A and B are shown apart, each in its own frame.
Chain A
Amino acid sequence: MSSTARLDKQAPASPTPATKEHRTVRKQGFADRTAGYVFLLPWFAGIAIFTIGPLVYSLYLSFTDYNLLQSPSWVGFANYHQMFTADPRFMHSVRVTLTYVVVVTPVKLALALGVAMLLNRRRRGIGMYRSLFYLPSLLGTSVAVALVWRSLFSQGGAVSNGLASLGLPKTDFINDPSWALPAIIVLACWQFGAPMVIFLAGLKQIPSELYDAVDVDGASKWERFRHITLPMLSPVIFFNVLLETINSFQAFTPAFVISGGTGGPADSTLFYTLYLYQKGFTDFQFGYASAMAWVLLAAVAVLTALMFKVSRVWVFYGDGGNR
């Protein structure tokens, strides 16, 4: 995959390698030009029925009042208006979700980068450690782990008892409005393994010659990190930030399981997705839920665009190109 001299043309450890060769061999495709569409047939059907269709339909529904039983009745912008002016629970769910995203993304990624740097050396057992750190990312979204968290952090749970044995007051995290969300945040950060393995692969791509060069100049550890590791790793950091942010907006299962579906105590874990679920599938306000879905979509789209824009300032692609 890699060609010779890697020094001057350091490919970013991006998750999209190997785009070069298919461009050069482009002309050699099959004469049968319809085959492409034939192979894409299931995907075309899927995207029409399960993605684009529903997207358009929900945009329409968001301007209606719809409870599944009667046909939708047009209400204009009433759903959107109510959301931002007359629904304190909606605004609250936005705050809860933003708090979660703003805390989880940097903390989880800092953990991931820290452990990745710790593991980035040639030692025995690296493969095993890497796998063990990755394990929580495979388990983390399951109901089973959410139940474990609920038990660990509730009254008499191991975390509460452990803190008590350190002389701290006993806390029933799960039923305390100021501690339930932090417990869920810890659960999210526990899954740092997924971004970690990506960081680790990125770190391995940094040529050691760069470090040797600054060592000659007598650089400190911090300077090595600040002036070599960070810039060389910035494409991978950007990728992880983007992915973690978008994922964090969609957290649902832990909040649902830990609060028993209520978003409690006192709405402290009322995530946006959880409130959307309640509006749609317990209150059957499908119009309102659709409007919420579109606000989420718009927010994620704007944020993604913004992150790409800002990335031009701080993400360093070794070859000077912009991806």
Chain B
Amino acid sequence: MSARTAPALPGGTAAARRNPGRRAGRTVLWHVGVVVIVLVVIYPVVWMLGTSFKPATEIVTSNRPWPLHWTLQNFPDGWHANPGVSFGKFFVNSLFISVLAVVGTLLSCSFAAYAFSRLEFRGRSVLFAGMVVTILLPYHVLIVPQYAIFKQFGWINTDLPIIAPKFLATEAFFIFLMVQFMRGIPREIDEAARIDGCGPYRTFLWILLPLTRPALITSAIFSFIWTWNDFFTQLVYLNDTDKFTVPIGLSLFVDQTGSTSYGPMMAMSILALLPVFLFFLAFQRLLVDGATSSGLKG
């Protein structure tokens, strides 16, 4: 943002602006207020982290989010909580699905986005509108017939119902995100490429795609996190324990009632969210900006 469109500062009355002492006081007060809200919001995450290092006896008896006696025992306990199949298998399965989902989404959605943002063809605006509508379409409307169709294909209890749609640009949201970004790239660049003899295909591969990199990274991270966290699709399509992913593996803890399993359960929850935390730490700016510019859900 430039200085021209200086953000308005509500609450900054003329008097407060003139009196530096009062202004500093207000700043401190403001920081204290915001930090308190942050603490409330972050508490569940802190609690999850603390509980994963607490011995079972301590979990129910104390309200302190962090442990009095630290233990690592919850991690092996949680890892092997399901007889026969360990969380290692679940992580491998989840990683496989999520990485392929990212590859498929990036390929198919960048193709579609290029067509919608740069190429001329009949019916473009109608198709674009149709694409936007599919973003709003509730997924639960499609799951039953999709299941019936995939059953015909013999795809039930395989990864295909989860991965194959990603290669066919079903995550329309990412098309939208990339279209928005590509529209911001100056047309003169395409023009120059065209004059130099590039056709639409080479222009896409050598000119537009490299310039779209920030949007591709944002899409890749969100696509990964969404598939990694997705529960519904995986619950519906994966039946055998050795096909299970991390979210399904976690949901098995629900059957083990009683707070004794809290420690291992939270240990595995922390591990499950670890990739999300890492992406968040590394790319928080990109993620928040991506969420801002396109209004996407986490």
Contacts and interface: CB of A to CB of B under 8 A. Distances in A.
Interface stretch (A99-107, A239-247, A314-322): A239-247
Contact of B288 (A191, A197, A246): A197
Given A204-B1, A208-B7, A208-B8, A18 B184 contact: yes
Contacts of B248: 143
Contacts of A140: 298
A206 interface: yes
A76 interface: no
A293 B120 contact: no
A198 B127 CA distance: 27
Contact of B149 (A54, A144, A210, A293): A54
Interface string A251-263: 0110011001100
B88 interface: no
A286 B148 contact: yes
Contacts of A206: 7-8
Contact of B5 (A2, A15, A137): A2
Given A43-B169, A132-B42, A289-B144, A22 B117 contact: yes
B292 interface: yes
Contacts of A207: 5, 8
A6 B181 CA distance: 22
B247 to A, nearest CB: 4
Nearest to B8: A208
Contacts of B269: 143-145, 147-148
Nearest to A253: B231
B266 to A, nearest CB: 7
A55 B291 contact: no
Question: Which of B33, B65, B114 has most chain A Cβ within 10 Å?
Answer: B114
Interface size of A as a range: 35 or more
Contacts of B44: 136, 145, 148-149, 152, 190
Nearest to A129: B34
B119 A39 contact: yes
Contacts of A261: 254
A147 B293 CA distance: 31
B201 A42 contact: no
Main secondary structure of the interface of B (DSSP, over half): helix
Interface size of B as a range: 35 or more
A6 B5 contact: yes
Contacts of A162: 63
Given A18-B184, A36-B124, A156-B259, A211 B41 contact: no
Contact of A139 (B63, B184, B298): B298
A51 B170 contact: yes
Interface of A: 1-2, 4, 6, 15-19, 21-22, 25-26, 28-30, 32-37, 39-43, 45-47, 49-51, 53-55, 57-58, 61, 66, 68, 115, 117-123, 125, 127, 129-145, 147-152, 154-156, 158, 161-162, 165, 190-191, 193-194, 197-198, 200-201, 203-208, 210-211, 215, 221, 224-225, 229, 239-240, 243, 246-247, 249-250, 252-253, 256-257, 260-261, 273, 276-277, 280-281, 286, 289-290, 293-294, 296-297, 300, 304
30 contacts: A1-B184, A2-B2, A17-B180, A29-B119, A33-B121, A33-B122, A40-B112, A45-B168, A46-B108, A47-B170, A51-B170, A121-B7, A123-B31, A127-B285, A131-B280, A134-B284, A134-B287, A137-B297, A142-B231, A143-B231, A144-B270, A151-B262, A154-B259, A193-B298, A201-B293, A206-B8, A208-B6, A246-B136, A256-B251, A286-B148
Closest 10 CB pairs of A and B: A46-B168, A29-B120, A137-B298, A36-B121, A144-B269, A54-B145, A36-B119, A39-B115, A35-B200, A208-B8
